[in-house]
Amino acid sequence: MREAEKAKGSITLTSGIYAARPAQGASTLAAINSAIEGLVRGLAVELAPIRVNVVSPVLVDTPIYSTMDAGTREGMFQTVAQSLLVKHVAQPEEIAEAYVYLANNTFTTGSTIQIEGGAMLS
């Protein structure tokens, strides 16, 4: 068996919604997220047959926001939730399902999976 046929696996990186839908004042984040998505496409070509993909979520309710004042945090979450078609902020388990999908699906590579609650349509 050739070496390339032995290589298997999956690499999944994380970007964010700003790659596709930049917000006012977030041009740096938009550039970083766009660069990650471009890197994933290039790595998918270079590392094949290892699969390389990216998950691009919108705001997720994680402990990273725990240092914010509770009222400010909840206000931000409510504002974002009302702007989304699904009317709630993402929970970590909802985003994790995309990583599991990409790890298990052997035919997906070079793809960006947007987990954004309808933000692209609202």
Which residues have a catalytic role annotated? 15
With beta carbons less than 8 A apart as the criterion, state whether 40 and 13 touch: yes
What is 19-31 written as a DSSP string?
A: GTS--TT-HHHHH
Residues 6+ apart with CB under 8 A from 96: none
Strands (E) located in the chain: 10-14, 51-57, 112-115
> What 3-state class would DSSP assign to 106?
coil
> What 3-state class would DSSP assign to 68?
coil
